[in-house]
Every structure is written in structure tokens, then in C-alpha cells.
Structure 1
């Protein structure tokens, strides 16, 4: 399987008082942060909830209708779980949710679309 990153950004340069600032809006939200529970992992239900709240269908900016994941995430870098995202029009998309940072019980994770 191939991974296709799900993120688009544009940059705007603003000059203020001789300093240039680059503003990079997040057109697609592709990151979540959770705390591992008593089991030592981020639960399947929490991963599904975070994906529903923070994942947008590319270019449409529409939150998914439903999300179903194969399991939870352990708080260690590169741990991953495959999920199915269903859009409001019924289109299904497979994504991989992967841990990008683990700090104690804090877990940050990102999403990538799986292509066949």
C-alpha cells in the first residue's frame, strides 16, 4: 500500500515593522493529541472520536459521517492503526493513523490516506 499525505497548505507573508511573518493556515486538520488511559494505550473509541473531530475529507473540508478503527494506539512513536472513514455521501476511505510523538502518556498522531 502507498501512503498519501492528507495536508494542503498555503503561505502568506506579512511584513510588520520590518519583520516578515509567514502565516500557514491549516486547510486540513491532520493531527490529534490524546492521553493514554489506564490500559497504557489510547482507546479505540478515543482514536475514532479524535479522527471524527479533526479529520476532514481532502479539498471538501467536510467532517466524516463515521469512523471505524481496528484498535487503539500505544504511546510509542510509529505505532499505527488502520481506520475507515465514511463521508456524508457514503464514500469510504482507508486511512492510517500513526503516532508522531509520545511523551509519557501524551500521544500525538497524524493521518495518511491509504491508496491501493
Structure 2
């Protein structure tokens, strides 16, 4: 089992509790508990599991899908031992594509293609 206390361990905690474009966008209401869940989990990782606070990254309501991917890429590159990825919030299944939508963006009223999460790979 990996040791989360080491300097080589990283965690990225991502929460999407706000539907972009405001509450009710895409039929999704805000989920205020997402922000506190991410913040509380970060505190647990530091206070109870011994992770360095600098190694726990919180990403709250990323406005654009690339910010989600950028956080994952940066923490994956920095992790030399354990990498904990936690996602909490909105998502929609797209069975025909074999993956789920996790993020949407709405910039100046123009809908963009949602970001996706694929199955983790070993």
C-alpha cells in the first residue's frame, strides 16, 4: 500500500457543484455540498493521513474542461509514488460513448463540447 505521507505522493480533488451558466443549466441544480466535501477531504488528507498540504490540490468548479485536465496532468507528472484522484459533483452518463460527461462550459452563450472522464487505466 502506498504511503500518502511521503513527499512523492499527490492528491487532486476536483469538485463540480455549480452548473455553468447558473443553477438549472442543462437541468443541473447547484450542489453546495460539493465545495465543502472537497475542502473537508483535503483537511482529512493533511490532518489524519499526514499528506503535506502543498501536495493536496483542490480544484473547485473548473470553468473549462482543459482546467480539469491540466490539474490532472500536472499532479500526475508531480507524483512519483501515490496519486489520489477524487471527483465529486455533476456528471452524466453517455452509454453509447462508453464514458460520462463531467464538465460543461458556457462562454458568452456559446455551448462547447463537454469534457469527459474515461475509465482509469493501469
TM-score by length of 1: 0.24
Higher RCO (CA < 8 A, seq sep 6+) = 2
Q: Which structure dedicates a bigger proportion of its chain to strand?
A: 1
Larger Rg: 1
